[in-house]
Amino acid sequence: MITRTRLTLAASASASALALLLAGCGSGAAAGPSGESADPALSELITPGVLTVGLVLPDAPYYIADDDNVPVSGITKDLLDAVADELGVEVEYVPVAWEGGITGVAAGRYDIFGGSLYDTAERQAAGTFIDFMKEQATLITTAGRAGEFSEQADACGHSVATIRGTTDVAYATALSEQCTKDGAEPLTVTEYPTQQDAELALESGRTDLGIQSVPAAEYAISQGANKALVGDPFDGGFYVGSMMNTQKKALIDAVLAAMTTLYDDGTTAELFAPYGIEPAAPGVNLQK
């Protein structure tokens, strides 16, 4: 029987093998003669009876993994586990590379891609977001250098590590342009392929600063990470949500309905409380 939070590689089993496994597995959603769910919305799942979720690790506190790199808790994981319970399906977490996460939803490799995923107008062109919280990003540095940077302007003339393809790059670019306008030296912005690479660059001293969401930075610091927040967060902020294939309207509606139920009855607030996060009322493409 498929486990509650099974973690696999995308190609770990053929579709036929999964179908056979699921045929003998109990599920909260009734199945029809073809093996598909009797619920039309759930028939749009890639694998019958399973909500397939693409995620990038590490991504605490959205996904918190054990020593085997299997996600066991986290803001997004706890919520999607509860959504799966509401829908009467299992959930399968599939590790993916960040740059392939968004395209993977469109290509039908998984039903949802999410974690510390900001809803942006550009990303809305590639898929539909169901947003459930809002957060801001902040500059960070190592704890030992915290005294050098009391506000964002202190970053001018220094180097900053960003993650390729993320809003980090936009934040750093905008700050660098502001430095130039103010007559200061611009930032040296380096784009790294993964979060691990960006964090290693900061920790090793190859860069002076990094950019991280406030919840992620605060969680890391609470766990003893060698990090410190710099000044106030960047202006604006973004909604965070689960990205889905826009063509699967019935499935989007079903996931939104489940998240709305969890929000209305207080479950989401209870799930997020240990992480110091307040949920937002779920909605589609809330970032404008």
Report pLDDT for 38. Answer: 58
Q: What is the pLDDT of residues 5-51, one digit of tens each?
A: 434 333 333 333 323 222 333 334 444 334 445 588 999 999 999 99
Mean pLDDT over each residue of the chain, to the nearest integer: 88
Question: 255: number of CA atoms within 13 Å, CB side?
Answer: 32
Report pLDDT for 33. Answer: 35
Burial class (CB within 10 angstroms; exposed 0-12, middle 13-18, buried 19+) of 139: buried
Distance CA 241, CA 105 (A): 14
Q: What is the pLDDT of residues 137-180, one digit of tens each?
A: 999 999 999 999 999 999 999 999 999 988 999 999 999 999 99
Burial class (CB within 10 angstroms; exposed 0-12, middle 13-18, buried 19+) of 89: buried
Q: What is the pLDDT of residues 72-89, one digit of tens each?
A: 999 999 999 999 999 999
Q: Could you tell me what percent of the chain has a pLDDT over 70? A: 87
Task: At 250, list the tokens.
Answer: 């019935």
Report pLDDT for 28. Answer: 40
Q: Which domains does the chain have, with CATH numbers?
A: 5-135+238-284 (3.40.190.10), 137-230 (3.40.190.10)
Burial class (CB within 10 angstroms; exposed 0-12, middle 13-18, buried 19+) of 252: buried
- Which residue, among 201, 172, 204, 174, has the nearest Cα to 188 in the 3D structure? 172
2-15 exposure pattern, b = at least 16 Cβ within 10 A, e = fewer: beebebeeeeeeee
Q: What is the pLDDT of residues 209-265, one digit of tens each?
A: 999 999 999 999 999 999 999 999 999 899 999 999 999 999 999 999 999 999 999
Distance CA 97, CA 91 (A): 19
Q: Which residues neighbour 97 within 8 Å (Cβ) at sequence distance 6 or greater? A: 56, 194
Q: What is the pTM of this model?
A: 0.80
Strand partners, 65: 71
Distance CA 99, CA 97 (A): 6
